[in-house]
Amino acid sequence: MSERHKGHLKVYLGYAAGVGKTYRMLEEAQALKRQGIDIVVGYFEPHGRKETIAMTEGLEFVPRRAIPYNNAAFEEMDTDAILSRRPAVAVVDEFAHTNVPGSERLKRWQDVHALLDAGIDVIATMNVQHLESLNDQVWHVTGVRVRETVPDWVIDDADEIVFVDLTPQALRNRLERGVVYASDKAQKAMDNFFTETNLAALREMAMRHTAHEVEEKLSAAPPPAVVDILAPAGRDLRPQADAEPRRKERILICLTGNPFSAVLIRRGKRVADYLQADCLAIHVAAPGEDREGVERHMSFARNLRIETHTVYAAEAPRAIADFARQQLITQIFMGRSAPRPWYRSLRETVVQAVAAHSREMQVIIVASRRR
């Protein structure tokens, strides 16, 4: 029996609901069906949008699986049924969705990976605010903390990304016409999340991320993956190549049990991805610390494919500097030191001590933003 090749993942990426991701995905599904490709709809969320629902006509649906939870039944994508059906291509809406407790996998993107591992191609949809590394930035801009996130590496590993673009004004016009949500819900959305300022900021994030993906894909070993950008005519989102080759950057993130470490992880990983840098995380263990918080952050970092290390040392700043030197680190990311009582104000903070021991590296202090 020949070895089955891994499936091909294509993601339609947008910056908000209603830009047309699902419509474009289904449009492609219909085109593939006309070509004689064996394609099924693994999961589709209609949201009552008539034009989008009309695009599913004639497509084969794999029935959803009902999962009981809290005395109710919730419907999720039936991954096992799709695997048994073994189509050439599966269409999967809402890639970032979190499955109901009791499901075999926590996230829908993990279900998609099970399909890819079985050699099934997948076409999926997602909004940029669901990228894990942008979580804090989205919260600061919009005031909404997105709970359903996807690790950046999952999108980075996609074979194709199609950015579906629509101006904020055009999207708000669609809301006003009731194309995206019912009229009462649409007005509430426009007054809150779908303000023109929020939409412009999210659109800029999506464009920047897509441009970064273009640069990544174009610099990849042949054959490069394809990234399509559906942008207004005349706009070139492809970043210009550097005139001189950059030195290899290596980033180190310093973790503690402080909740702010999650922000530090996202920021450091985001910068590492843009610089195409190696990313490591270190924790210097201390007696009486919040081990549960530390382990939670270390696990979070590993989920983002950050290499984690724990060091046992009496003097944390020197341990961090020595480790950074051994690992050829170029940038150290740290949180701001906590305020201290007046009688200790003349002593060096941990950040100051690390900077003193690491003069050949950049020490970057990430401040905590408050809304």
pLDDT digits (tens, 9 = 90+) for 22-45: 999 999 999 999 999 999 999 999
Model pLDDT, residue 1: 37
Integer CA distances (angstroms), 17 to 142, 155, 216, in order: 15, 18, 26
Q: Return the percentage of the chain with pLDDT > 90, whole number.
A: 54
Residue, of 234 and 181, whose pLDDT is higher: 181
- pTM of the prediction? 0.74
Mean pLDDT over 267-279 rounds to 88
- The H or E element spanning position 141 is helix 135-142
What residues does each domain of the chain span?
9-230, 250-366
Residue 169 reports pLDDT greater than 60: yes
Joined tokens for residue 274: 């843009």
- CA torsion 118→123→127→132, rounded to 10°? 20
Split at pLDDT 50, 70, 90, the class of 368 is low
- Which CATH architecture is the domain 9-230 placed in? 3-Layer(aba) Sandwich (3.40)
What would the CATH number be for the domain defined by 250-366?
Answer: 3.40.50.620
